[in-house]
Amino acid sequence: MPRVVVDVMPKPEILDPQGKAVLGALPRLGFTGVTDVRQGKRFELEVEGDDGDELLARVRSMAETLLSNPVIEDFEVHVEEHSVAEVAHEAGRA
* Cα separation, 41 vs 6, whole angstroms: 8
Q: Binding residues for a second copy, how many (CB under 8 A)?
A: 63
Each residue of 12-36: b (16+ CB within 10 Å) or e?
A: eeeebeebeeebeeeeeeeeeeeee
Q: Is 33 in the site for a second copy (CB under 8 A)?
A: yes
Q: Is 46 in the site for a second copy (CB under 8 A)?
A: yes
Q: To the nearest whole angstrom, how small is the minimum distance from the Cβ of residue 59 to a second copy?
A: 8
Q: Is 93 in the site for a second copy (CB under 8 A)?
A: yes
Q: To the nearest whole angstrom, how small is the minimum distance from the Cβ of residue 19 to a second copy?
A: 7
Q: Is 52 in the site for a second copy (CB under 8 A)?
A: no
Each residue of 66-90: b (16+ CB within 10 Å) or e?
A: ebbeeeebebebeeeeeeeeeeeee
Residues that bind a second copy (CB under 8 A): 1, 7-9, 11-12, 14-29, 31, 33-49, 58, 61-62, 65-72, 74-76, 83-85, 87-89, 91, 93-94
